[in-house]
Amino acid sequence: MEGFLLEYGNLLLRWLHVIAAIAWIGESIYFVMLDLSLRAPKSELSRNAGVAGELWAVHGGGFYHNQKYQTAPAELPQDLHWSFWKAYTTWLSGFALFTLLYLLKPQFYLVNPASPWAWAAGMSGGEAGLLAVAFLVIGYIVYSRMCCLISPTMQRDGILSVAVGVMMVVVAWLTTQIFPGRAAFLITGALMATCMSANVFFWIIPGQRRMVNAMKAGEAPNPLDGKRGKQRSVHNTYFTLPVVFLMLSNHYSFTYTNEYAWIIMSLFIFAGAVIRQYFVLRHVGKNDLKLPVIGIILLALIGWLAAPSPAPTPAPTSAPTTNQPAAAAGQTAAAGTEQVAAAGTDAITIDQVHSIIVARCTECHSAKPTQPGFPSAPAGIMLDTNAETLMHAAQIKQVVASKYMPLANLTKMTDEERAVIAGWNGK
């Protein structure tokens, strides 16, 4: 029952997170479009009232007239609309999901035994969890300080944009060195999402409140509040598409188990920003076709980097494999490995591969997992039968060859067994 409640909680949190994110991103993209689509008012009455720009639109069978005041309007309504709860709900539900799925099982999902750095490979689950949270906190502090130091009056935003891009490449490299690939992608995306939500919480909304209070008091608002809010809002719009990709990347293991994972992640971040820039410019009447071309080139480069290498041939051996469990399934897998390795890849059959799968994978990937903490098969992938193994052949070969699976090599899959699966033709 406890396992079911965890799964159901996961479902409800994920649903809430997606709903809040759609609402926040949709509203954010809308206001970027609105702000960039404003035109100087034609009416002298509007200009005299302080209207700096307006937009006429038609939608849903009705006509809309949006106006933006550069200075304080004649009066502010009591029911002034604010945009912040969607941002906060997205981050809070996302962090709750991260806690439920990663921080409660850090030894499985956050410890990377294959890390090139010995201290990272030897971390405990608790240490890995603390480090993951530290990435979010310290990452935002570094980002925010860069904004304040490089462009304090919003006059050097171009330089700041380059610096933020460099920062994200460094983060992509660091996370893939320290954490398992899937966690690295998620933590990088979570850092960007944290910066987005923190921009709203620490800069955009407080600045807007000061502006409103000044207007109500009959005082001139501080122009820096508006400029800072605009700066952080612009950053958020360029973070949006990369964050969406990084949140979805856990479904596509070829991205995060690749030896070039940090480069793939960085290219996806830049591709998302470039594609977003194309649509931003469209709002001001510019159709810069080189931007989607650059985005397509970056995506093609990612495809080339992520493409699988030719499968290695298992090395012949007559010695029994080592590091096998005493269970019957493990003994069967060892015997099958020896036979296949001696005969070559042509002899690799689904029965022989499945014997390895049963010994090393079905503790978690089963209709009824036996591994504590897994009430259901991760990602819904069950490998109890030959047919199920065949259904997921390509994914199995990829994650086993990269050593991403088994998680933390919990079931002690040997290099010989990995070579057999890598040399299997998937039939």
Percent of the chain residues past pLDDT 70, beyond the cut:
90
Integer Cα distance of 189 and 135 in angstroms: 11
Contacts of 114 (CB under 8 A, 6+ apart): 121, 180, 403
Residue type, position 274, single letter: V
Average pLDDT along the chain: 86
* 142-156, 309-323, 406-420, range with the lowest pLDDT: 309-323
- Most confident range, picked from 50-64, 361-375, 397-411: 50-64
Instruction: Look up residue 312 and give its DSSP letter.
Output: P
373: left (phi over 0), alpha (psi -120 to 50) or beta: left
Average pLDDT value for residue range 22-32:
93
Q: Token pair for residue 279?
A: 């649509």
Q: What pLDDT shows up at residue 4?
A: 74
* CB-side neighbour CA atoms (13 Å) of 399: 22
Report H helices in 38-156: 44-48, 85-98, 106-109, 118-121, 125-150
Q: What pLDDT shows up at residue 423?
A: 86
Integer Cα distance of 236 and 102 in angstroms: 25
Q: What pLDDT shows up at residue 318?
A: 42
Integer Cα distance of 103 and 399 in angstroms: 22
Degrees, nearest 5: CA angle 279-276-196: 130
Of 347, 337, 316, 342, nearest in space to 400 by CA? 337
Respond yes or no on whether the N-terminal peptide bond of residue 406 is cis (omega within 30° of 0).
yes
Which of 341 and 66 is assigned the larger pLDDT?
A: 66
Integer Cα distance of 334 and 419 in angstroms: 13
Question: How many residues belong to the chain?
Answer: 427
Q: What pLDDT shows up at residue 316?
A: 47
**Is this model's pTM higher than 0.85 or not?**
no
Core vs surface per residue 192-215: b (16+ CB within 10 A) or e: bbbbbbbbbeebbbebbeebeeeb
- pLDDT tens sequence across 345-399: 557 888 889 999 999 998 889 888 888 777 778 777 889 998 888 888 888 888 8
pLDDT band of 189, cuts 50, 70, 90:
very high
